[in-house]
Amino acid sequence: MQIFSIIALGVALVIPTYVIAQDHDHDHNRNQHQRYYDKHRRDYHEFDDRENRAWHIYAEQQRRSDWKWEQAKERERQRYWSWRHNHSDAVLQINIR
């Protein structure tokens, strides 16, 4: 009977650690975003939800509202990064969290 108590205690101690580790991995993977290099400014940009909203504003200004980042060629992406350096989140009124 004592062996069952020891096993039960061991399981009770291990399960919360396992669950927390799984949750941490899930959050880490969800928050990873693609990074892109801006060769004119020689810096990197993360393409996250905020950047996606800015991209759609840029695309609308270019009269291409259905344009997706993945479809843009490198030349157009460089034009976007130049535009983006002059259009901060505050200027675009993008909600900053």
CA distance 53 to 63: 15
Contact at 8 Å (CB) between 39 and 78? yes
Contact at 8 Å (CB) between 57 and 92? yes
Instruction: State whether 26 and 44 are in the same domain.
Output: no
pLDDT at position 63, please? 92
Instruction: State whether 51 and 88 are in the same domain.
Output: yes
Cα–Cα nearest to 36, from 79, 93, 66, 94: 79
Instruction: State whether 80 and 38 are in the same domain.
Output: yes
Instruction: State whether 11 and 51 are in the same domain.
Output: no
Count helices and strands (H / E) in the chain: 4, 2
Boundaries of domain holding 11? 1-32
Cα dist from 22 to 13, 18, 27, 34, whole Å? 15, 6, 9, 22
Structure tokens at 21: 């580790």
pTM score, whole prediction: 0.61
- Per residue of the chain (97 residues), give pLDDT as tens: 788 677 767 767 766 665 555 544 444 455 567 898 888 888 898 989 999 999 999 999 999 988 899 999 999 999 999 999 899 888 888 876 5
